[in-house]
Structure 1
Amino acid sequence: MVPTTSALICVLLLFWLEETVHSQRGHCAGKTCHAVFQEPRDFKGARSRCKEPSGELFVYSSASEVILNSIVGGISGQYWLEVHGTSERAEEAGLKNCSSISVVVGRKLEVLLEPCQKRLDGFLCQFAFDEPCGKLPTGGGAQVTYDTYMGFKVKNSETFPPGTIAVAEKVGSIFPDSKYVCFSSGWLKAPWNCEVMMGGCDHNCNSTTRSCICPAGQSLNSNNITCTKDPDTECEHECQKEGGTQVCKCDKDGRSRVAVDECTEENPCTGENKECEDTQEGFRCRCKGDFHEEEGVCVDSTICMKCEHRCENYRGVYQCVCLPGYKVSATDPTKCEQHCTERACLAKCITNDGKIQCSCPLGYISDTVNGTAYCTDINECENKRHCDHTCSNSFGGYKCSCDPGYELYKEYKCVKQKEKGDDESGSTSLYPTPESAQPAVVPSYIKTGSVLSITVFVVLLAVLLCFLVRNMLKRCGKFQLSSFKHHDIDIFYLQQVTTETYKRLSFD
């Protein structure tokens, strides 16, 4: 039996565990645990929350960055912490800024000062303890999950604080194989004392026998903590025990109904994104595909694995949200881009290879004032070509509008409206008409000059060509081949030449 004083301590620890929401995570080593709590609080509230289970705010130093990265890896946000007591000294001195750390996936951690009354995304705590437990020894491929009494799940740790609940279960199994509690550096297997969370029982606990009990129509599983429906309530004829299981048997005419498939007769799972699964113990409602159950509702949180900053559940739907100064990208709902709601905002600057590089949102231009980089809004309306008629500048963009009698077409063009009765339908044309005031591609005076120059050039070219042709005709009229006038040559070319004639001419 556990001593009375020790049992009381264990009761208090496990009572705290029962009342805490296990949506946080942490890491333990030796006799210290560090954890991140994603609960929006101001600095005072964060420090008070860490002290409730005998802890304190995480104390940051350059040597603690490895631990810090291990517990905030994969998440984004801004969290309260302590930097060697600077926040306490700041409060004593009447200062209004406290220490925090900015976490963005893929970027280096950055320590910042924020107003102490500001509610950040969460806070970091650290806890010291004695009599830690080692890893729970398991066999047969069982996996173990650990929940601490401080209110966070522990992963990839070698030690665990007293009051930690360890649940061992096989992959795909409906019920856990066993349940344990860390006490005095050892693991106590459930069921334990009924005064402590009903001894770890699924339904109820008998304090006299210190064993788990089940309601009518259900039997205790082999793990001695969970209950399942009795198969004899599902059998049409009789139920017999074979080995360690209950099976239905037929009567003499061979008829049998092994079990009623409650999923096919009438689907009892009517919740959104839920489906019915028939098992030997009866039906159970489970979430479809990538959906998982949270507070009785099936939600899909797979998008959270891709969120650049953080993820929130809004009316049962998870969606990515961005830190202040950013907004969700219009082209990718998992990415965040800079966002400014004023004429000028501080630029986002990073140091890369010793050089400072600053960036601004779309529609803003970077400017440096007194050594500080700012993003200043670009007034697109100063360029009159952006809109046909009227341009209204806004932070990060602009908007076009048209004069009376015109309609906006393709965001910046203005087309004239047709009056009703101009055609049979009386509809308004959304296409440009000759009357629409469209900006010319080039000024009209440039068009006129170009046409005149081309005309003059063509006329001159035609005149030159005429003189050239006329001159050639004159020269061809006077051209004579004088060498062809010799009478012998004329005969030679006009008469047929035979061999005899050739010899006679040669002797001549």
Structure 2
Amino acid sequence: MKDATRLFAVVLAVLAGRLGGTDPDGGFCFERSCFAVFRQSGDLTSAQHHCKERNGHLMTVRSSGSRDVLSQLLNNFSGRFWIGLLRLSGCPDETSRLKGYEWLTKDDESDFDDWAPDFNSSCSSPRCVTVSDVDGLQWVQEPCDARVAGFLCEYHFAYSCERINVKAEGETLMYTTPLGFGGEHLLSFPPGSIATLMLSNNKLVCAETWLQAPWSCEIEEGGCEHRCAVDDDHQPSCSCPPGFSVNPLNKITCDVDAEDHCAHLGCEFACLEADDGAYSCACDHGFKLAPDGRSCVDFNDCSDERQCPGENFRCVNTVGGFKCECEHGFKMTGGLCVDQDECASAPCEHQCENTPGSYKCSCFDRYRVDPQDTNKCKLHCGKEECIAECDPNDKYQCFCPDGYIAEERKDHTVCIDMDECADSYCEHGCKNTYGGYVCSCRKGFNLVDEVFCVRNEDEDEEAEASGEAATTPNVPTVTPYEVAPTQQPSAVTVGGLVAIIVCCVLFIVVVVFLTQHILNKRGKVEIEATYKAPDGGETHSLQGMGSEA
């Protein structure tokens, strides 16, 4: 008995490390080792993680026998697959068999290698290795962050079980392993593997040797079809639901019991006999009978207000029961739900006030809580004009709330409300507000996308039915909707203003210079023309002085 307990302890340890995770697309076991192929795209790091989920590692190929396993695993799969060979640092070493690479098992020795002929010996060559059926399973250098078709895992065990010889004619065996693969043609089996005889429905589990069900209830429900329990002799035994009895041959499957009074009821959990001899279905604790009188549904234990009576506790219903938790904003301390100071993590942009089970953010003067994110604050004016918010280290770097524009004055900068209605943002009516504007539509129209007006077809049909006009122009606006302010520059910096002024002055100076130059040139031409005679000779404007008679 002690030996059996020890064996099952080993099996449980194996199963604990291998249940869960992604099931492989194929596998093969040889002696005390198993290998599995996963068609799951990813880089080398993700491949390593998946292998470790079941206490394995990326496959090593250190012998021709391992290469034969590769061939069997990848026989029907295309694409590149990671193996556990990589170069951690340095440059390739062509003098060694592994060329400076080593197995993930920290073993750099091998009596086998299968490098592709185009091996790259440069120091910048890829550090990881893949194999594929297309390359004849040769080792190909691959960047470790590349996403390839899949990966190969390797697992080792303290012992294994061999195939079972079936003597009964026509009987077949189906094997499943805790690694997620199985079949009829496996050669060896790791601990926790289950063999099922298809005709008799007998089951056996690998626990160093093959043990027939029912086995320990902690492993796959002891192999029972319904439930496993320990009898008075501390031996595992199978039980069946009401109306069924355990098959006397295999001792694990359930057959219909024709003599059972509960058989026709089909109870999901249990069948009970009343004092008057009548039979009815019953449910386990935490469940109640469904309206059909045979199945069981979860009972809402939290409907009883007496559950979780402590202050700041709340009752959370679970399948078949309930649990007590602290209300949101409270944490369990010494069996009590104590308020958690959310302000300690500084969730608010400006000011934070802790409240029972929560917190409240507030803003400094001239700010208000951002409606899009209540933890943040945004500038707010609320009137036609207000002083701008300027950088204390740079008085010319100023900011205004949305919907306002900055204007520099003699000794300060102010924010002035923009009149968005002047830019005809709204399709029908528009009313300017501080920091924004409100669009509206005429009667018979609905406001769409905050600014557009679409005719209400239902209202048109009603108007036509009553003989009224379909449209009513110039009716007071309806359906107001406040639109977010138009985003515009909050301020013009001093540097930008100076640049504009300098450019203007330079432009004026250039224009004046060009004008003066053209005028001077034209005047010079006219003067030269006055000193030329019609025949080309020079003329003089001096008058000769005659002598007096």
Fold match by TM threshold 0.5? no
Structure number having the greater helix percentage:
1
Classify the TM-score, shorter chain.
0.3 to 0.5
